């Protein structure tokens, strides 16, 4: 993703907040704000229209909240990155964002540098949490967040993608899977690519390790 312009949609019910985010991100080479929304419901339409790589979502908006938008996207298998921005620095809010499938969480009183760093991190498939929040996280909450992050990624896989993942871990080729499923090798390859994208793992060894660690074998 890093070699392409990152298409961004901003959603916040305050125009002045959207304008501030846009001005910060549009000034960065490789970032392009392609649309804005003032409600969670409007975001869903903009996603279909603009096919963004990243959403910057207010945690609380009219209609669907940022968390509800994120949950809906993950439920339909969307791979778009999501960065939640919020006035709340309570770790429980961050945990809820992770449970919903968000990739990062920033505070509204953070500066432009933090916003740019958050977008850059999430773009590369890494998580981003503000330092002020991470300092408050207990060991138990950190572990719970890690489990929830993995769960949300597994839940984003379709039934067929999970089957392909398990067979990749068994060492099966695309042709062998195609024969078993009665589909084309190209379709298997598409499933493989989506699995890697959703899990943010891009090697067979990494996928195999993931299946073993999380006991996903049939």
Query: Over the stretch 37-76, which tens digit does the pLDDT of each residue have?
Result: 999 999 989 998 999 999 999 999 988 999 999 999 988 7
* pLDDT at 143 (0 to 100): 77
| Topology (CATH level 3) of domain 157-213 | Arc Repressor Mutant, subunit A (1.10.10)
Domain boundaries, the chain: 6-137, 157-213
What integer is the mean pLDDT of 1-6? 70
Higher pLDDT, 82 or 4: 82
At residue 86, φ and ψ (nearest 5 deg) are -155, 160
pLDDT tier, 152 (very low <50, low <70, confident <90, very high otherwise): confident
Give the chain's mean pLDDT. 89
Both structure tokens of 90: 């309570």
Find the mean pLDDT for residues 107-119.
Answer: 93
Phi, psi of 181 (to 5 degrees): -85, -15
Residue 17 pLDDT > 50: yes
Q: Do domains 6-137 and 157-213 have the same CATH topology?
A: no
More confident residue, 12 or 78: 12
Give, to the nearest 10 degrees, the angle between helix 40-50 and helix 66-75: 40
Note the pLDDT of residue 98.
Answer: 87
pLDDT for position 140 = 66
Q: How confident is the model at residue 138 (pLDDT cuts 50, 70, 90)?
A: low
Taking residues 23-30, what's their average pLDDT? 94
Domain 6-137 falls under CATH 3.40.50.2300: yes
Closest by CA position to 61, among listed 41, 86, 40: 40
The Cα 18–Cα 36 span in angstroms is 7
**pTM to 2 decimals?**
0.77
């Amino acid at each position: 993703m890093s070699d392409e312009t990152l298409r961004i949609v901003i959603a916040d019910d305050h125009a002045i907040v959207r304008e501030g985010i846009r001005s910060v991100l549009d000034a960065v080479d490789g970032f392009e704000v392609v649309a804005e929304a003032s409600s969670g419901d409007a975001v869903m339409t903009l996603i279909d229209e603009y096919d963004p790589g990243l959403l910057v979502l207010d945690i609380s908006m009219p209609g669907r909240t940022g968390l509800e938008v994120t949950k809906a996207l993950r439920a339909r298998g969307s791979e778009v990155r999501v960065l939640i921005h919020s006035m709340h620095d309570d770790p429980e809010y961050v945990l809820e964002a992770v449970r919903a499938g968000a990739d990062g969480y920033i505070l509204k009183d953070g500066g432009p540098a933090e916003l740019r760093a958050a977008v850059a991190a999430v773009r590369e498939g890494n998580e981003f949490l503000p330092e002020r929040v991470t300092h408050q996280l207990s060991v138990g909450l950190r572990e719970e967040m890690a489990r929830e992050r993995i769960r949300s990624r597994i839940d984003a896989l379709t039934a067929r993608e999970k089957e392909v993942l398990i067979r990749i871990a068994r060492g099966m080729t695309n042709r062998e899977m195609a024969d078993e499923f009665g589909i084309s090798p190209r379709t298997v390859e598409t499933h493989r690519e989506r699995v890697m994208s959703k899990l943010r793992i891009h090697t067979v060894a990494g996928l195999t390790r993931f299946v073993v660690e999380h006991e996903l074998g049939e």
